[in-house]
Amino acid sequence: MEIIKNFVDNIHNDDYKSNYEFPVIQGESMVFPGGRKSRSLNGEWNFSADQYDNCLRAKWFLEQDTNDEGRSVPLDYAFDDWDKIEVPGVWNLAKPEYFYYEGPAVYSRRFSLEEENKGRVFLQFGAVSYEARIFLNGTFLGIHKGGSTPFSIEITAHLKAENRLIAVADNTRRKNQIPSENTDWFLYGGIYRGVSLLFVPDVHIKNMRVNLTDRETGAIEVSALIDGNKDLTDKTVTFSIPELGLEEKFPVNADGTCNKIVNTDGLSLWSPENPKRYQVSLTLKEKGEVKDEVTDVIGFRTIETRGRKILLNGKQIFLRGVCLHEETEDHGKAVTKEEIREAFQRAKKMNCNFLRLAHYPHTEWASEIADEEGILLWEEIPVYWWIDFSNPQTLNDARNQLSELILRDFNRASVIIWSVGNENPDTDARYHFMKNLAKTAKKKDPSRLISAACLVDSVNLRIADRLESHLDIIGFNEYYGWYDPDYGKLTEILNGSQPEKPVIISEFGADGYQTENKSGKYVRGSEEEQEEIYKRQVELFGKTEYIQGTAPWILYDYRTPKRLGAYQKGYNIKGLVTADRKREKPAFTVMKNFYEEVRKNEGNNKETV
């Protein structure tokens, strides 16, 4: 049927989105931010929910107040008159009516550019949930998918003295996304991590990766990528750690890569007991003249497994952990540095040396603060429960989230494990999908351990998962005492399994709500029952030699629209501490005591390999 063009033709166009699916912004475009000249675009932006995607359908981003026939357009895109919202922030907490809003929403702000704009300019987003479509001065620049990882876009060619920036953020749950439609946490919406402009020279250091490769000799591998359209062969880079008196110059290859093993002397190794970090810098020079420089603060350590043991700096370590979601009552996912520190302090109070950051990449501040505080981290991508495993596009998105996370946190000593998924169904499609992710992680970062939180083989009652051969550590989630009251099964699993690799109990736990019950009997879901379950669990763990770490579910109670019933009231109440972070439940003390014991024993028989 012929479509007659008229002034409202956008309402007849159901294919409006196809114009905004490409280009896809992926990890390769990320630019190393450390030590760069930058300008924050945080603060108040204009905001409107846009449930029917009118900004895309009617092209609000063009800001045309007359149409092709010259008629004035009565459309509501006077961005500057809209409500204000704080960036970073989640819209769900900005107004009561946005609390459960799920869908597209439009963010807009202006910024002017002063003399600082020499060279190239990149726009950086810390995270936008889940799809972000970015427009600058009326031009669509690209779409980023994945709600928890950073992305950059070069905007040099589109800049003017006065600029209009628009981001359409869309947190709609979709089957083919990572995560898919069904999660047990709150999928907040919005630009909930920082936004900034990065100013870099024409030829610049795109990324820098530094890690310790040999503990004995103190050898460090430095690799970097130089970006620029020119011949790069006349350029060199100089890597320095001033505190160690180290300065090493090496050439840039024609393709922009540069790589060097540098030897250090007197390096003090990073560990939870000694979170020592060094200022490092990499300078790009041409004919002796400095062209660009990046800096970072880096700790050096090794992490490996041997048989069923985990070795940090060559010494056996038990991971005394707890799981943590990225959420507070006040800020949702847009947690502050103070809130992160508070969570880490609470974990330390429980005698933890390890956190499982569930179930998606947390803010970059988490690993930076963990580096400072001396906490080991498990970082994860949201390949959670059911995923569209046979969809190649979904695999591509998962791989991109993993790559962006690895690129962002490669230099963080605290991060020791990349996890490629959680409790996924044991199908062939899942096996191939996750095998691919495990291999991707190993290839991008051979210096760390790969894991996944797996389910038990409930038929044979064994710790057994087809993915095991692609993992360095087997994560095992179990809820005996809670979802299945039969502890006998857990005993059988732990005694009957013969894993060839270290096992971490990556989840266990139970609901814990406060009751008035004085009957002396446990009420289902009460804090007393939770305490009892914890006692029985840790007793078994203590007797199982191959368990090399535990991470109970979870440090704080947290919001989840999956649990809107009468008791849970929109919360997962398996926390060891209440959601307002004020009260520790009795099970907190059970873990604290268990970890105290583990620590004492570890002190007695620490093995150096």
Residues that bind ligand GCB (CB under 6 A): 184, 359, 422-423, 477, 507, 553, 572, 574
CB of 72 to ligand GCB, least distance (A): 52
418 vs 553, beta carbon nearer ligand GCB: 553
CB of 184 to ligand GCB, least distance (A): 4
| CA-based nearest residue to 254, from 276, 232, 228 | 232
CB of 456 to ligand GCB, least distance (A): 11
CB of 499 to ligand GCB, least distance (A): 20
198 vs 494, beta carbon nearer ligand GCB: 494
Q: Which two tokens stand for residue 495?
A: 């005694």
596 CA to centre of own chain: 29
270 vs 360, beta carbon nearer ligand GCB: 360
| CA-based nearest residue to 348, from 578, 575, 596 | 596
414 vs 572, beta carbon nearer ligand GCB: 572
Whole-number Å distance between alpha carbons of 274 and 101: 45
240 vs 477, beta carbon nearer ligand GCB: 477
Whole-number Å distance between alpha carbons of 374 and 370: 6
CB of 282 to ligand GCB, least distance (A): 39
Q: Which two tokens stand for residue 359?
A: 């179930």
Neighbours of 597 (CB within 10 A): 12
Starting at the edge strand that comes first in sequence, how are the strands of the sheet with 303-306 ordered?
303-306, 309-312, 315-316
| CA-based nearest residue to 550, from 207, 384, 330, 310 | 310
CB of 336 to ligand GCB, least distance (A): 24
CB of 219 to ligand GCB, least distance (A): 39
Cα dihedral sign, 144-150-153-155: positive
| CA-based nearest residue to 379, from 352, 356, 398 | 356
Q: 537 in the Ramachandran plot: left (φ > 0), alpha (ψ -120 to 50) or beta?
A: alpha
| CA-based nearest residue to 135, from 55, 41, 212, 189 | 55
Whether the CB-CB separation of 560 and 179 falls below 8 Å is answered with no
184 vs 465, beta carbon nearer ligand GCB: 184
211 vs 422, beta carbon nearer ligand GCB: 422
129 vs 196, beta carbon nearer ligand GCB: 129
192 vs 553, beta carbon nearer ligand GCB: 553
CB of 423 to ligand GCB, least distance (A): 5
CB of 531 to ligand GCB, least distance (A): 17
Cα dihedral sign, 272-274-275-281: negative
Residue number of the CB closest to ligand GCB reads 184
CB of 502 to ligand GCB, least distance (A): 20
CB of 311 to ligand GCB, least distance (A): 27
66 CB-near residues (< 8 Å, 6+ apart): 72, 73
179 vs 228, beta carbon nearer ligand GCB: 179
250 vs 386, beta carbon nearer ligand GCB: 386
463 CB-near residues (< 8 Å, 6+ apart): 454, 456, 457, 474, 476, 493, 497, 499, 503
> Scanning the structure block, which residue is given the tokens 């006349």?
234
In this structure, what are the phi and psi dihedrals at residue 303, rounded to the nearest 5 degrees?
-140, 135
CB of 296 to ligand GCB, least distance (A): 32
| CA-based nearest residue to 128, from 206, 45, 62 | 45
Whether the CB-CB separation of 440 and 403 falls below 8 Å is answered with yes
- Count of alpha carbons within 13 angstroms of residue 382, beta-carbon side: 28
542 CA to centre of own chain: 31
277 vs 574, beta carbon nearer ligand GCB: 574
State the amino acid at position 559 in one-letter form: R
- Count of alpha carbons within 13 angstroms of residue 468, beta-carbon side: 17
Helix (H) / strand (E) element for 435: namely: helix 428-444
| Cα Rg of the chain, angstroms | 26
Whole-number Å distance between alpha carbons of 507 and 454: 10
CB of 553 to ligand GCB, least distance (A): 5
91 vs 354, beta carbon nearer ligand GCB: 354
